[in-house]
Amino acid sequence: MSARLRGSRGGRGRWLLLLAVVLAVVGPAAASGAVDPTYDADGRLIETPFVPPAPPPSRLDEQGALAAALAYPKIRDWVARYPDAEIVKSAELDTAKRTWTVKVWADETAGQIVLATVQDSTGRVTQAWTGPQVAWTMARGYPGAFGRKINDPWIWFGLCALVAVGLANWRRPLSLRNLDLLVLLSFTASLWLFNDGRIFWSVPLSYPPMLYLLGRMLWIGVRGRRPPRPADRPIWPVWVVVVAAIFAVGFRIGLNVEKSNVIDVGYAGVIGAARIAGDGQVPYGTFPVRQGTECGRADVNGVVRDRIQENGRCEASNDRGDTYGPINYIAYVPGYVAFGWTGKWDDLPAAHFTSILFDCLTMVALGLIGWRFGRARLAATLVFFWAAFPFTQYASSSNSNDALLSCFLAFGFWLVTSAPARGLFLGLAGWVKFGPFLLAPLWATYPEWRAPRRGRRLVLFVLGLVLATALGFWVLLLDGHPIAGLQTFWDRTFGWQLGRDSPFSIWDWKQYRLPDLSVVQTVLKAGLLLLAALLAFYPRRKSPLQLAALSAALLIWFQLTLTHWFYLYIPWYVPFVAFALYAPVRREPRPPEPVPDDRPVGELVGVPG
């Protein structure tokens, strides 16, 4: 009995000794993180909070993070471009993510030239952005940033194959028709490099196809196009082209609904429509900005775009979305009325609706053009080309506003014999994006500047332009200060566009220590204005085929001069290029050979001798 008691007491003693050791070890550690306990009014203990343990010490210091980043080949090579500049560097530790953010600045012209992320535990560079990739996230090559699923190779090259099979001349592989088609599809090489973030390769590769198309359209616009040979007859019957067009239309709509995204351009359209139809405000100068109190979640890059705006609502910012013409925002009003807007940059069904609507309306206009000038085959061909051409699908899947411009221009071309209709639709297109106004002299003098009643036709054309302007600029009356609204409109549109910089052309690469081509750009701009004026008078008389080709030439030349160019602009001239290449051309009858005759000349021409 006493032995059992002694054993029990010895067991308790050992447990008490073990507990004392644990408390001796854990107690100080817990106490080091403890704060004062919390009591209620009666002195009862409510809780004893603890401060989380301190983060582990950093393995790198600022100099170590800078050294790791500057040794990275991509960063090292880029910084070497600025041997004579005063380089400023900084590194900041994110204690939660255990990563260093490294930034490097050069002179005032170049600004920040490096943005990198270095992992603290390993010293490995996990992100390295240089040059244009620092300020332009769209230059970094994020997968599917524009259009999502359309960038999948099997979809993109499947559409290329569909266009090639349907429109190529398989009887004569080396024909000019096939070369035209190959050039149109060759923009793909530039786009693929852009998707990989290789801007200094992708941008130069966009110019050769544009230069070829410019020369081809100018040639057709001045000289016309020769009639097709028997070997140039299309292989597909009309019904096959119709079936292929229907399939392509259904596919592009489904792709837009299920597997696309809305870029900032489409989002801007929804905001403008909400300001007009929802708030009764002038859209210019009232867009949500990234200033003030944050009120939303961070995106995948850790950036919070949502802020409390002056109207008191939490809205996702789009600071420069009010840079387009007023017709652009009015066009989004039906979608906004039908689907509304949450104030966030979410799925934006109103933008999807507007993009699909004007995409389909463009195809309707192309069908009407084709039926008017070439009946069923041309109508089916033009619709098929638009529906299957991957770059028009690229604009649709990005839900941009570029189909609006194509739509209005296509309807204007369909009604080409009506001067007021030409002026109206040209004005509507111009007040979406301003480039189409370059077509005004050409369209105003169609079909011949010396034709009878040319003064009356010119007045009607101008009245059409005035009506389009009135349909757009009534929005400046919404706040009761139209003059101030006009000034804000100019500052937010032309004033900003004329002075903007961009890495998506070769004209603004001086800041990257590349050749300064601004003089060449200025010469091209002057040449464009001269050409626009010249085409009003030459050729003296223009056919619809020539009008389409010359319209395409002006739009292409305009895009060649842009400081900010992008693949979404290609659909602007697609309707005109397609018409110029595929509209039927009839062979003119040859005049009869003169018959030798010995009679006096007066008798041959019916003049009395």
Give the mean pLDDT of 24-44. Answer: 48
Q: Is residue 595 over pLDDT 80?
A: no
Q: What is the pLDDT of residues 343-359, one digit of tens each?
A: 999 999 999 999 999 99
3-state secondary structure 566-596: CHHHHHHCHHHHHHHHHCCCCCCCCCCCCCC
pLDDT at 587: 59
Q: What is the pLDDT of residues 77-135, one digit of tens each?
A: 999 999 888 889 999 999 888 999 999 999 877 889 999 999 998 899 999 999 999 99
Closest CA to 413 of 454, 452, 442: 442
pLDDT at 602: 36
Region for 400 from its dihedrals, namely left if φ exceeds 0, alpha if ψ lies in -120 to 50, beta otherwise: beta
Residue in this structure with the two tokens 């002195």, named with its chain if needed: 43
At 471 the three-state DSSP class reads: helix
Closest CA to 573 of 562, 558, 594, 595: 558
CB 485 within 8 A of CB 492: no
Q: Are strands 125-130 and 314-316 parallel, antiparallel or unpaired?
A: unpaired
Closest CA to 381 of 231, 578, 571, 161: 578
Q: Which two tokens stand for residue 351?
A: 């933008």
Question: Is the CA virtual torsion 533, 535, 540, 543 positive or negative?
Answer: negative
Closest CA to 571 of 393, 340, 374, 313: 393
Q: What is the pLDDT of residues 492-516, one digit of tens each?
A: 999 999 888 999 999 999 989 999 9
Nearest 5 degrees, angle CA 129-CA 132-CA 136? Answer: 85
CA separation (Å) from 268 to 264, 284, 329, 436, 457? 6, 11, 8, 20, 37
Q: Which helix (H) or strand (E) holds 335?
A: helix 333-339
3-state secondary structure 280-326: CCCCCCCCCCCCCCECCCECCCCCECEEECCCCCEEECCCCCCCCCH
Phi, psi at 291, each rounded to 5°: -140, 150
Q: How confident is the model at residue 340 (pLDDT cuts 50, 70, 90)?
A: very high
Q: What is the pLDDT of residues 406-424, one digit of tens each?
A: 999 999 999 999 999 999 9
Q: Which two tokens stand for residue 379?
A: 């109508």
